[in-house]
């Protein structure tokens, strides 16, 4: 198997409405940026993998996984991976409610209600406070203010403002939730020597893991607490990458956190802290920009969410930290970076990138 690396990344400006571009033009904006970043032209690309919200594929990372596999096996030398979403031209919440027409469509609660149900279990068992969740929201929007692509940028957001924002579904406030954005992201991955030619610091793919679970949401017990897909995927990826202690061994993480409480739950599922310690981890500022393991320097999904691109954005942001091209959101001297994808508790993707093959 050949070593493969992310050699270029590109993103659009993400916003609630991008009326200035059509969906293909949105993709064009991200792809041009990624190719320029990789010092490539379209003629240099052997294959394109593109996904969006429709089948949830751009949200997760299987397309990157497949792309990495094609590269590693020698089928292709360079692959362009694109995710996009233009929510202002769709009906995301209605789409999310189009579940099994015989079972739960008539009693669907939409994305926010669904998260809130899981959060009630998480809060009940872990005892995290609304303030601890709000701190995640503040961190995300403050980090986003350093990211020129981010949709919601609020350097001065306070915990009090988060708690004063209207309740969407108890206990989730408006500012506990991700937005819906228009945007696209693209990454260029390349094999071996080609990767080295196109980037002085390629972000080598050290590990990838994808896990899926049963399809009905009621099949998944205590989903936010247990999240077996993410726990299993992380364990496999850490084994592949030789990571014993993720908090120590990782330099930065870009995790797919659809709401503040999910970020806390993922800290536990990803082994950043023992179960029950996530509230304390956020209180200790460990995951802030200046902390031991900065989580989501980009501002995360909480700040930017073109759903079909949100998974690819995580990989792009993790990669550019290794490339050293993070600008104002650059974490110093990143050698090992984590990116995750997530979907409705039933599946999870974990990828580890490193500065050496």
Partner 1 sequence: MNQQPAAQLATQITLDITWHYSATEAMSRFLAGLRERRIEALRCDGCGRRYLPPRPFCGRCCLRMHNWVPVADMGTIEAWTVVHVPVLDSRTGAPRPLPYGMALIRLDGADTTLNHYLDETDPAELCIGARVRAVWRDEVVGAMDDISHFEVLR
CB of 117 to partner 1, least distance (A): 4
Using CB under 8 A as the binding rule, whether residue 312 contacts partner 1 is answered as no
Residue closer to partner 1 by CB (options 100, 160) is 100
Specify the stretch interacting with partner 1 by CB under 8 A; choose among 149-157, 195-203, 209-217, 260-268. 209-217
The rounded distance, in Å, linking the Cα atoms of 213 and 229 is 7
DSSP string, 93-149: HHHHH---TTTTGGG--HHHHHHHHHHHHHHHHH---HHHHHHHHHHHHHHHTT-TT
List of E strands, the chain: 4-11, 47-52, 78-86, 167-169, 172-173, 182-191, 203-212, 252-254, 336-343, 347-354
Residues 80-99 that bind partner 1 (CB under 8 A): 93-94, 97
Query: Which residue from 340, 348, 339, 305 is spatially nearest to 320, judged by alpha carbons?
Result: 339
Residue closer to partner 1 by CB (options 54, 216) is 216
Residue closer to partner 1 by CB (options 256, 261) is 261
Using CB under 8 A as the binding rule, whether residue 129 contacts partner 1 is answered as no
Do strands 172-173 and 347-354 pair parallel, antiparallel, or not at all (unpaired)?
A: unpaired
Residues 138-177 that bind partner 1 (CB under 8 A): 166-172
Among 92, 121, 165, 335, binds partner 1 (CB under 8 A): 121
DSSP state of 8: E
CB of 220 to partner 1, least distance (A): 9
Residues 13-32 that bind partner 1 (CB under 8 A): 19-20
Residue closer to partner 1 by CB (options 170, 239) is 170
Using CB under 8 A as the binding rule, whether residue 264 contacts partner 1 is answered as no
CB of 212 to partner 1, least distance (A): 10
**CB contact at 8 A, 34 and 190:** no
Residues 216-245 that bind partner 1 (CB under 8 A): 216-219, 221-222
Q: What is the largest CA-CA distance in the chain?
A: 55
The rounded distance, in Å, linking the Cα atoms of 262 and 138 is 15
**CB contact at 8 A, 357 and 191:** no
The rounded distance, in Å, linking the Cα atoms of 149 and 281 is 27
Residue closer to partner 1 by CB (options 120, 240) is 120
Residue closer to partner 1 by CB (options 133, 315) is 133
Using CB under 8 A as the binding rule, whether residue 124 contacts partner 1 is answered as yes
Residues that bind partner 1 (CB under 8 A): 19-20, 93-94, 97, 100-110, 112-113, 116-121, 124, 166-172, 214-219, 221-222
């Amino acid at each position: 198997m050949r070593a493969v690396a992310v050699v270029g990344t590109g993103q659009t400006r993400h916003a609630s409405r991008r009326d200035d571009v059509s969906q293909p033009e949105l993709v064009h904006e991200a792809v041009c940026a990624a190719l320029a970043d990789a010092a490539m032209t379209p003629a240099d690309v052997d294959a394109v993998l593109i996904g969006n919200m429709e089948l949830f594929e751009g949200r997760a990372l299987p397309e990157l996984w497949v792309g990495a596999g094609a590269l590693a096996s020698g089928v292709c030398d360079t692959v362009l991976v694109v995710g996009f979403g233009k929510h202002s031209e769709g009906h995301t919440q209605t789409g999310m409610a189009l579940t099994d027409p015989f079972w739960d469509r008539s009693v669907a609660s939409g994305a926010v209600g669904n998260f809130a149900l899981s959060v009630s279990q998480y809060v009940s068992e872990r005892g995290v406070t609304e303030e601890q969740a709000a701190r995640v929201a503040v961190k995300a929007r403050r980090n986003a203010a350093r990211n020129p692509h981010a949709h919601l940028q609020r350097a001065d957001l306070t915990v009090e403002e988060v708690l004063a924002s209207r309740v969407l579904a108890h206990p989730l406030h408006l500012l506990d939730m991700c937005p819906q954005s228009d945007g696209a992201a693209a990454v260029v991955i390349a094999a071996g020597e080609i990767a080295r030619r196109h980037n002085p610091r390629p972000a080598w793919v050290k590990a990838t893991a994808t896990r899926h679970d049963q399809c009905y949401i009621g099949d998944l017990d205590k989903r936010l607490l247990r999240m077996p897909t993410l726990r299993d995927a992380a364990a496999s990826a850490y084994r592949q990458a030789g990571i014993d202690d993720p908090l120590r061994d990782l330099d930065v993480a870009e995790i797919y956190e659809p709401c503040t409480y999910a970020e806390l739950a993922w800290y536990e599922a990803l082994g950043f802290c023992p179960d029950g310690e996530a509230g304390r981890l956020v209180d200790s500022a460990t995951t802030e920009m200046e902390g031991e393991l900065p989580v989501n320097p980009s501002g995360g999904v909480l700040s930017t969410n073109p759903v079909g691109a949100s998974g690819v954005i995580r990989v792009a942001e993790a990669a550019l930290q290794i490339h050293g091209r993070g600008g104002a959101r650059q974490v110093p001297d990143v050698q090992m970076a984590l990116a995750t994808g997530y979907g409705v508790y039933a599946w999870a993707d974990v990828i580890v990138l490193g500065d050496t093959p």
